Each structure stands twice: as C-alpha cells, then as structure tokens.
Amino acid sequence: MKLPPLESLHHTYICTAPTSEAAAVFANLMDQFVAMKMFESTDGNPDVVRFDFRSVGVDDVKGIAEFNSRVALSGRKVAIITAEQITQPAQNALLKIIEEPNPGTYFFFILPSISQVLPTVLSRAHTIDFRARDHHPDPKKTLLEDVENFINHKPGDRMALIKEITTFLEKEKMTRGQVCEFISGVVATFHDQNKGKLTQSQLRAMISVEQYMRDPSSSMKLCLEQLALAL
C-alpha cells in the first residue's frame, strides 16, 4: 500500500498486517519515506525509531511520549510501533499524544487487527491495510488463517480445531496476536456471508468475543469456544 505524498501525510496511521509480516511492512515504510524524500536515508537515522512490543501497556507509552517531545534533527521524525496488542489504558494514554503531536512528528502503528483499536483512537488516525489480497496461505504453515474452513466446520470439528490452536499457543508456536487476528477474520467473514440473517444472540456473542479478546488476561480458549458456538 502506497502512502500519500509528504504534504498530505497524516500524523498517525494504523497499519493492519499479520504479526509475521510486521518486519516486511516496516521495510516497506522505510523505502517509502526515502522515496517521498521525507528523509535522505533511514539507516541509522535517529529521527526514525522503531518500538517493538508484544503488548503495549501504559508504561510503554512513556517512551513514545518522550520520543514525541524530542527535537527532530532533520525537522521530521517518525515512530513505528509494532505490537500484537495495545491495552485500553495504553490507548487512552496515547490519545494525549496523537491528538496534538509535536510538529513534524508521525506515528505508524503496525497491528495484526484493527478490531482491538478504540474508536477514540481510530477517529484520530488514518488506516492502511497491508494484508495481502486474494492470498491463500499454505495450510501447513498455519491453521489460524483458514477462516472459511473454521466457519464451515461442524461444531464438534471446530472444538477439535480450537484444541489444536490452544496447544500451539501453549507451546508458543502461535501468538495471542495471531489468534486475535483469526477471531476478527472469522467475525468479519461470517458477518459478510450472513448480512441481514444474523440473530441478535449471534451479534451479541460476536461483539462480546471481540471485546473480551482485547483484554491481555482473557482466555483465548474461551474466546474461541464462544465464537464457535455462536456461528
């Protein structure tokens, strides 16, 4: 996805991409910054800082705030924040920064799912979807991206798949961010496939799952089971 010209660049972007592709998105952004002449080079540039988190908490926002207050050597500075999750308290703390960032300061958040972002944050940011279109991943690499397969399974088969996913989580072969991305994909796809046909019970259940999964202490197994029963 191509960024707008420098003169039209917004101060905050939410970039959607699978956790496994965050590094590729970061490299893509670096290339675009140079191409639009935002910086002569991003290599070793102190005005381009990357923050990597598994889950962004309130304490982590302090480092981002310090970056915002720092004077840019080149007149512009960029913070790229990659994370699997951002807690709600952290997002509330970020609001104070992205509402009125220092002149010439830009923020790019690379997240696996936009569903975890609070509406108050989204209203102050622009979104960019870096997810590949019409891409069907190798099922041997991950079961989590096979959204339609999960939807079309019988309830008993879904539970078997959930058991496999939770095993991957326990063995750290999968991350919470990847599971959250999968859940959001299932909800969005099921909603699109059944527009006007969803019951109030199904809608409430899916909204509840998406809200619950944003809590870092929530059980991914319970989220998946509730989702499986709601379909």
What are the pLDDT digits (tens) for 167-179?
Answer: 888 887 778 877 8
**Domain extent listing, the chain:** 6-129, 147-230
Q: What pLDDT does residue 145 have? A: 56
For residue 15, which phi and psi values (nearest 5 degrees)?
A: -100, 120
Q: What pLDDT does residue 25 have? A: 92
Give the pLDDT mean for 181-190. 82
* 85, 179 Cβ separation under 8 angstroms: no
CA distance 123 to 46: 29
Give the pLDDT mean for 41-58. 94
The fold of the 6-129 domain, in CATH, is Rossmann fold (3.40.50)
78: left (phi over 0), alpha (psi -120 to 50) or beta: beta
pTM exceeds 0.85, yes or no: no
- Pick the more confident residue, 219 or 138: 219
CA distance 160 to 162: 5
Only one residue has tokens 């703390």, namely: 93
